Structure 1
Amino acid sequence: MPSQSKSAGSAVSDTGVSPYTDQAWVNPSYITADDSNYASITSNQFDIGKYSQRMFAYNFGFSIPLNATIEGILVEIKRYCGSGSVADDYIYLNSTGVVGNNKSAGASWPGIEQYNSFGGSTDLWGWSNSSPSAVNANNFGVHLACHATSNNSDIYVNHVRIIINYTEEPMVVTGAASLTGQGNVSAQGYAPVIGSSIEIAGQGDLSSGSIKVRQGSVTVDGTGALNGTSNLVKNGFANLEGQSYLSGDGIDIAEGEIQFSGQGDITGTGIHIINVIAYLEGISTLEGFGNQILVGYAQIDGSGNLQATSEMGNLDMTSLWEIQNAIYTILTNDLILMGKITGVFDNVPSGQSYPYVVIGEAKETSVDNFGKQGREATTTLHIWSQATSFEEPLSILDDLNRLLDRANLNLTRFVTIRCGYDSAETIRDPDGIRRHIPAKYKILVEEV
């Protein structure tokens, strides 16, 4: 699931709501970066029964696509209580005004500086009208207020950030798209064409970071190019006549056919042709470091070459090692998670400090996914902590779910069909010191 993480761009101390009128925040604008500057309340009158004013952090600068659906909002506040003691009282989102539910659970502020999390990757705070335009607005933000539970309390806030998880529907064309003359179709993302066709007559280019055509056809007449980092043609066919090429680092053709007449090249680091027929007539070359032709055949007439470091047939493969590597990469590349834990391990080093995550046991079964060989795996991640409550490991669990629930794992020999959070439980270790949360994730993949 895509997400955006932004720091507050502005903050003020707000006296607009009773009883949050007693103690003003000093330098509230200092919460815009994780640095050595702090918003604070250090008045010797911040005593039992006194409230802070509301700190309003806003102007986050989100740019969520307008066709997206907001799935969850996570607020993280880096803070501590330097002396005395305080407890949360008021934590609300703001749009055109206060929205949703109060996320304060009355928790005491930590005595050492750390991030505390509110909400989560699938938590909308009870905000029924959340939308990309609302969170992209400058007035979107979060309110924070607390009350003193002992006399002469001093509190500090270093940084406020918000992570928004969302899903985005791609552009879909359901009719026929035709470009005549010198025409180009390009995009940073991809535009699927479903149940239709694209025709380019004349000198035309169809290019993007990722090109997908399903259940239709692509026809290029004349000098034409279909190129991109990843080109995918499924359940259809691609005809290229004249001096034409299909190129990219990853090319997949499934359940269709490719025909090249004249001088044609298919080149790339990884080329897969599945359940298809590849015809190359004339002086033609199919080359690359990893070429696969599965359940089909390749016919090359004339002076042609089929070259590869490895040519493979249909293999019965386990998915577990690829899934473990993909999960490890996702977790260790996330700055928010890695700011909370000391590492992600398969084998924990002796003396490793807490908290950390262990990629543990996994189970795999073979399934038939609509006629294709698939694997259903259950992988368990173990969260280990020595905190005095379950707040810390549960915050880490929120991050695991944010990263893995509905994730698209980057696999080589498989395609992710589904990846989802299954279950978790909280366990107090018999030693009375450690807290343990095993979290299970179910992953369905099918072979490429």
Structure 2
Amino acid sequence: MAIFRKQRLSGLTRWLLTTAIALLVLLLALAIWFSRHQIFQSLLDPGEPYQTYTPPEAADYAAADGWYLRPPVAGEQPAVFFVHGTTFNGGSDWNAPLDDIAAADGVTHVQIPNFAGPFREIGPLFVPRYRQAALYTFMNNREDSVLAREFAARDVLRAFDVFLSDIGDDRPFLIAGVGQGGLHAAYVLIERVAPSDDLRQRLIAAYLLETPVALELFSDRLSSLAPCLAPDSIRCVIAYSSARPEEDSRLRIITERSQTWSPDGRLGLTLGRGLLCVNPILGTRSIDFAPARLHRGGAAAEGIEGDTLPPIQTGQTGAQCVDGVLMTEQPNSPALRRPDRLGETFRIPPFNLFYEDLRLDAARRTGTLVETLANERLYAPPLEAPEEIEDAPVRPIEGRGRGG
């Protein structure tokens, strides 16, 4: 009887021990699950101060391998300068090496088809390689992260200078960027386009997609440009950052924790700053609600190359600018919904919810600018070469001098 009890207690002990271990494993799994984004972020930290960091080798924009796309230009067709968003996670570098295969694949197979695609019909599409800031740098606002973003912006500025040289002095052009690329495209507007009468005249529009842009810039560094107020406005800026009303974390990131350019030329938090929102369905800076029946269509264009138009899914979402954020509805199509990925809140989605809206918008504004330039050049022909005038001394008229 005593032996039986001992065996029974031993079995109960094993069961309790097994149950306890199972509970601990479950609790650990739950802890990892709920902390997965923090763990993911910590794994991406380069672990070295930016001040002592050696960036990867720079692109040579005079060479073909400095670009994803650098086509020849001919005739008078406008050109497009497109800046891709973040495709490099981080982990070893603050800024992506140009030869990182996964990052390059993200540009060529996802971002160019989805976000440069709507502008392909405008004209030759230029897409520079640049040492993009890692995804990690957008998950926090450490000084190191800010320096990495500003470093990337200077790469894009150098690429834009070569783009201008390639397209010549008369060709109209369009600027577009998405996410981080929109941030750097805004830097190009501030440093090059806004200060130049010639470049402003040739600018069709700037499309800063999923990019917070501070309204105060249009009273300061971008005062010579303006938001696009109407569907046919030209030489203006379109910008929006989208979220659904129930996406509390994304809304906080856009309105409080993101960075946008400041009048002092540095990046600063969006917290407490008004943001530009141009509704891509309406093509205007408006607080009017655009119902889904007006939505011309989104596209999941991953892997689609060349000039092929991807399948367009219409009527997927309504949109309204609310306090500087483009509020959208959950699309009916699963292909136009954000995937469940680590760090997804900070990523550019692998689809373009406003693909067709942007394609038609860009075509309309391009037609308006081309017509406007033709009229301006017709009625304001170039001045003839100035004649040289010899210096002639001023001689006083006799009798009109002092006391005369």
Q: Which has the higher helix share?
A: 2
Which bin holds the TM-score, normalised by the shorter protein?
under 0.3
